[in-house]
Amino acid sequence: MRDSLTNDRSGHFAALDEARPSRFQYKIMFVSGMGFFTDAYDLFIIGVVVSLLRSQWDLTTTQVSLLNSATLVASAVGAIVFGRIADMLGRKRIYGYEVLILAAGAIASALAPNFAFLLIARAILGIGVGGDYPVSATIMSEYSGRASRGRMVGLVFAMQGAGLVFGPLLASGLLASGLSHDTIWRLLLGFGAIPGLAVFYLRRQIKETPRFALAGGVAEEAEAAIAMATGGAIPVGGGESSARIRGGAFSGARTLFSSPRMVKWLIGTALSWMLLDFAYYGNSISSPTVLNLLDPHASLLRNTLLQLGVFAVFALPGYLLAIWLMDRMGRRPIQLLGFALMAVSFLLIAAVPSVVHVAGTFVFLYGMSYLFSEFGPNTTTFVYPAEIFPVEVRTTGHGISAAAGKIGAFIGAYLFPQMLASSMGIRGAELVAGLVSLVGFAVTAICLPEPKGRSLEELTELGLGHGPERKPELVSASA
């Protein structure tokens, strides 16, 4: 029964699977990607804000760690909740509301009168950030062809790179302006509401994805969505979708745990994302502190500009390489290569004592860790769960994986300031990051398949144990 159902769905999506990216798909990519611009900005600007607040509010190391990490643990909750709801009620029904929660948290953060208020506001923001991950990734994945799906979902996530660069750029401009530090940190936090609010209306206009519409019993909605995605003239928008998938809050677990291979894949996506985010967010959110330890006499403006340089010179090219090669090399080789070279970069910092005393060498190795996280697991861990789980639990599986990532990020963001302030210092913290990256390499090698060139329906059958894991061949549309 399942075989015939999947084959029937595959027939519906043949035109979409073989199509090149259309203007409509690029519009979805932009609207979804602006959420990740905002997410990256909001998550990483807190490092600069904490540097300003540390003396102003006389923050302890524990309070710094909590501010760095509160948004992350809250985003795990948002990813699971929004991920499950989107599999029950549909992607369209809830899409856009997560950015309203994010914006409310950002505005409240900017108005915070004290530490406790700011901590709660950052947690609210985190719920919105987490909700954005599974829904945006899945919408893009379910609207993409099989030969360009990795590139399109990767482009959504690559908007994070713009947020990474814009944050320290804005901070540098404000620090150089002569404004008071109290005004600067409030402006930095408040800006996080603007991009999300700007795309709220556009998100509400996106039609339900064809794959969810068909799974939810509304074939005509699926056909209309396919026509739009492949160049048809049917307008976007309209009322709410009537597609629904029956089941309660916990029913998705039956599908996710329905075969040993699916369980292995879920462990692979969740654990590799957790390990990546421990190292990545631990370093990124604490980067002002890391750079200050490298040169304690440098100004915050100088260190913020240096952080900007690292992101612009190393991180952005990593995103571009990932997008360019995602559908050529495949997800698995890129993730393996990224974890391996992240480990090399971190372990060299830890193993060679002189590195932390020579700014140029340290910044190069530190930057290389960003290059190979972006051209590596920071991008692929986002793409993987949007592809390999069945449509009925796709946002649920992505939400669980993203939540595991944010738990890893929470642990990293909380522990890195503690490690940096202890006798471990920079070298000890990077040793831990390097070892964690090696474990991520092993998890990828053991648990994850190669989705390149396969349709989503073929991946579902494979995950449910219906066929061997073979190497697919890309069609010509990948060129």
Which residue ranges form the domains of the chain, and what is each CATH number? 2-467 (1.20.1250.20)
The stretch 361-386 carries a mean pLDDT of: 91
Model confidence at 422: pLDDT above 90: no
Model confidence at 475: pLDDT above 50: no
Q: How far apart, in whole angstroms, are the C-alpha atoms of residue 286 and residue 171?
A: 15
Model confidence at 354: pLDDT above 60: yes
In which region does residue 165 sit, left (phi positive, over 0), alpha (psi from -120 to 50) or beta (all else)? alpha
Cα 297–Cα 301–Cα 306 angle in degrees, nearest 5: 85
> What is the reported pLDDT for 111?
95
* pLDDT tens digits, one per residue of 19-36: 888 888 888 899 888 888
Backbone angles phi, psi at 407, to 5 degrees: -65, -45
Q: Which residues contact residue 26 at a Cβ distance below 8 angstroms, ignoring those fewer than 6 apart?
A: none
Model confidence at 3: pLDDT above 50: no
Q: How far apart, in whole angstroms, are the C-alpha atoms of residue 17 and residue 145?
A: 4
* pLDDT tens digits, one per residue of 375-389: 999 999 999 999 999
> Would you call 128 exposed, middle or buried from its count of C-beta atoms within 10 A (0-12, 13-18, 19+)?
buried
The alpha carbon of residue 136 and the mean position of all alpha carbons in its chain are separated, in whole angstroms, by 10
The stretch 4-26 carries a mean pLDDT of: 72
Task: Read off the tokens for 156.
Answer: 């959504």
Q: How far apart, in whole angstroms, are the C-alpha atoms of residue 295 and residue 308?
A: 16
* pLDDT tens digits, one per residue of 244-295: 667 666 666 777 888 899 999 999 999 999 999 999 888 776 676 666 666 6
Higher-scoring residue by pLDDT: 347, 62: 347
Share of the chain above pLDDT 70, in %: 88
- Nearest Cα neighbor of 380 from 79, 165, 76, 150 is 150
> What is the reported pLDDT for 294?
65
Angle between helices 331-351 and 359-374 (to 10 degrees): 160
Cα 409–Cα 412–Cα 417 angle in degrees, nearest 5: 135
Kindly report the pTM of this predicted structure: 0.87
The stretch 101-117 carries a mean pLDDT of: 94
